[in-house]
Structure 1
């Protein structure tokens, strides 16, 4: 059955593509945050182990909500590792030792990259594609990522 929500099929397809890229970024960042949780080492292991766990739990909720928004628009969410890696603009390559500072810097960079992408697309979703709901949705994601980035950045002071 065709989705009739007051947004043209062409615009819904464009919105879904933006959301698929966001979903891929979120999934990759979620995986990288879990990796930090599992593999962090050093004298601050326990605290950072718990900190990364809090962050990946937040990421898990984000991943699910983005996929559900895609489905709400009448499109299918990507759900394979290959599709996520094809769609993401994040790198899955790790370029540091398993220290908390190394993981924090990498995760912070990824959050900031997602923040920029969300900010770039927020206005487009509302003004050009006429999907104010998705624009509001990604604005809330933007707020969440800004707070998560702040928490990471605070560890670097």
Structure 2
């Protein structure tokens, strides 16, 4: 009798070797809800801060995507400098995205993450799918920045009045100050200055 063909299959070990694939289950926390954390801020303050921060987060994710798209689509004599500047700005915005999301989580909320959900929440207009002229792309970035800066300033003022200085500090030190500096760099590329005559 051939023992190789009649032996019973060896049971799979539990807990170590084989990943448990294709798992399904419901949400453990719905978007727009809070879990309780002992951070010395009341429920209503944290809820309001999470709502405002998620709006800024959604817009910042769109700004990051615009920077990447325009980085890829740059044209003309200023290609080299703009290509690299836009990519550097995008990296900075991505770090702000992470900081905003982590702040929302630290308040007990749920950060908006799925791009389709972001598209529902953002106030930044959708650009065309194709390529625009370079000054138009730069203007589009400036418009997105301005929308974020207006909202972030309002959010910082109101969240500060609620006593959440941590969220206020993040909005001022990261979103507002970084955005203002990036606007300056972008806007200077739209100045029509002669290169060879004074």
TM-score w.r.t. the length of structure 2 is: 0.75
Q: Which residue of 2 aligns with 1:133?
A: 166
Q: How does 1:3-152 map to 2 (within 5 A)?
A: 3-94=37-128, 97-127=131-161, 129-140=162-173, 141-152=175-186
Query: Which one has the bigger helix percentage?
Result: 1
Offset, 1:95: 9.1
Extract unaligned runs of 5+ from structure 2.
Answer: 1-34, 192-198
Instruction: Report the Cα distance in structure 2 between the residues aligned to 1:89 and 1:59, rounded to whole angstroms.
Output: 17
Unaligned runs of 5+ in 1: none
TM-score norm. by structure 1 comes to 0.93
8 Å Cα contact 1:33-1:56 kept in structure 2: yes
Instruction: Name the Cα RMSD after superposition.
Output: 1.6
May I ask how many residue pairs the two structures share in their alignment? 156
Whether the 8 Å contact between 1:28 and 1:88 is mirrored in structure 2 is yes
CA positional deviation for 1:94: 3.4
Q: 2: CA distance between counterparts of 1:88 and 1:6?
A: 30
Structure showing greater Rg: 2
Tell me, in whole angstroms, the C-alpha distance in 2 between the residues paired with 1:34 and 1:80.
17
Secondary structure class of the residue paired with 1:13: helix
More RCO (CA 8 Å, sep 6+): 1
